[in-house]
Structure 1
Amino acid sequence: MKILTLKRMMALALCGTGFVTMAQMKRNFKQEEANKKIVVSFYQGLFGDKDYSVIDKYIALDYIQHNPALADGAEALKNAVQIWMKDVPKGKVNFQHVAADGDLVFLHVKTFGPTGKLTAIAEIFRVKDNRIVEHWDVIQEVPEKSANQHPMF
């Protein structure tokens, strides 16, 4: 019978829970940068420039949408944004943070919502084969008063 050392047991436990060491995981920073460019170009094109053709350029046909107000697929996104953006002027998207980790790209955006109030948006996109294949978002109006001294941006 083989006796496992504490180090070996910890390594097995971490691997079994999905954790890996940095030596085991090789990040592809070049691909992460490319993914960030794809997402930022898409987002600025769609929400800043109001160019709906970016959906065909960047969104996979079988796009998965986690926003409960939208159906899956590129066509559903096209239909929704044409309604949302009907009277919205073009402008520069105010990206506060852009980060990537593997195939995920994270955006933190400062904007004005449909009510005209300052709004914070956190977006997560999954990129595969240079196309956006999945999306999550959290949208929150910035309150007039905060319980702390930390700004949302």
Structure 2
Amino acid sequence: MSRDKYSAEVDKIWKEHLTDQPPQTPQQIKAGKALIELFLATFVYHDYDRTRELVSKDYIQHNPSLGTGVDSIIEFAERETREPNRPFRFNCKRIFVDGNYVIAHNHVETGDGTDGLRVVEILRYENGVFTEHS
């Protein structure tokens, strides 16, 4: 997918789904939109080249059930989203940015017949890439 198409989809999500946002600076909005693009590229479109552009090669993962490095995100996405009978959808509810931290509150639907999951993701964003997941 082209960057223009990602940008258009991210802007649409930002406008239509993130209606209960606190005031944010342009830099904070840029970081929040980068996180939406990371979610789209990785979990919806499986565009792992774009994932690798958005995530530092030295990415630190603090989830003990996942490895460290950008490949850990890709492996997780492959495992969680590749079953054709279980469509994966994420709905951004809120994104907060505090310094280098981008915090996302999402509703994730995994197509398993449940109501899905409410998930809070906390990532560090530095120099235009995500460097850490807490």
Q: Same fold (TM over 0.5)?
A: yes
Q: Name the SS for the 2:51 alignment partner.
A: helix
Distance 2:79 2:48 in 1: 12
Residue identity opposite 2:131 in structure 1: V
- Identify unmatched segments of 5+ residues in structure 1: 1-27, 137-153
Aligned residue pairs total 108
Moved over 6 A (4+): none
Q: Contact 2:42/2:74 (CA < 8 Å) preserved in 1? A: no
Higher helix proportion (structure 1 or 2): 2
Deviations 1:64-96 (A, max 9, x none): 1111111110122222322222214365x3111
Cross-structure match for 2:100: 103
Q: 2:58 aligns with which of 62, 74, 79?
A: 62
Q: Whose relative contact order is higher, 1 or 2, with alpha carbons under 8 Å and at least 6 apart?
A: 2
In angstroms, what is the RMSD of aligned CA positions?
2.1
Q: 1:127 aligns with which of 108, 125, 128?
A: 125
Residue identity opposite 2:48 in structure 1: Y
The structure-2 alpha-carbon separation of the partners of 1:31 and 1:110, relative to structure 1 and needing over 3 Å to count, comes to: same
TM-score with structure 2 setting the length: 0.70
Q: Name the SS for the 1:70 alignment partner.
A: coil
Q: Contact 2:96/2:104 (CA < 8 Å) preserved in 1? A: yes
Identity of aligned residues (%): 24
TM-score with structure 1 setting the length: 0.62
Q: Give the structure with higher Rg (CA).
A: 1
